[in-house]
């Protein structure tokens, strides 16, 4: 995909502001970059996102992935439509104990009724931590 896929002019500052008071903000997730066909965000690996054994909780990785996809899918959606999650899966490949993890969401398929996205999450050393795929349903806006 060479042309920009976004409708309108997506605003990452606004997306970060809207996320501040919910799970996204509580876990420290922030949107950091919007490219022509990808969205990047990051999440700290700290007491909010680690499990009792001191490593990044798999559920936190899934929350990061779904957050990125939900935002990206919304930015792609045509006026008058909305996107809702249908399915997500994740393979956790490497433990992380501190620092940040960064996720990059890229579309696999952008259909009229559904979208499929892949998210690759890496650690501070650019090592693959988790790979996730998420399917979004495109519906009429409520």
Return the active site residues.
Answer: 66
* Rounded distance between C-alpha atoms, residue 75 and residue 69, angstroms: 10
* Rounded distance between C-alpha atoms, residue 120 and residue 90, angstroms: 10
């Amino acid at each position: 995909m060479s042309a920009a896929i976004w409708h309108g002019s997506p605003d990452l500052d606004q997306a970060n502001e809207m996320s501040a008071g919910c799970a996204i903000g509580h876990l420290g997730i922030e949107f950091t970059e919007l490219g022509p066909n990808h969205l990047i965000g990051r999440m700290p690996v700290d007491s909010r996102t680690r499990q009792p054994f001191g490593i990044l909780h798999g559920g936190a990785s899934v929350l990061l992935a779904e957050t990125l996809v939900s935002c990206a899918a919304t930015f792609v959606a045509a006026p008058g439509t909305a996107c809702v999650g249908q399915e997500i899966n994740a393979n956790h490949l490497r433990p992380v104990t501190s620092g940040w993890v960064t996720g990059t969401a890229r579309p696999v398929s952008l259909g009229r009724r559904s979208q499929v996205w892949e998210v690759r999450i890496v650690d501070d050393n650019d090592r693959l931590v988790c790979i996730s795929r998420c399917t979004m349903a495109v519906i009429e806006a409520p």
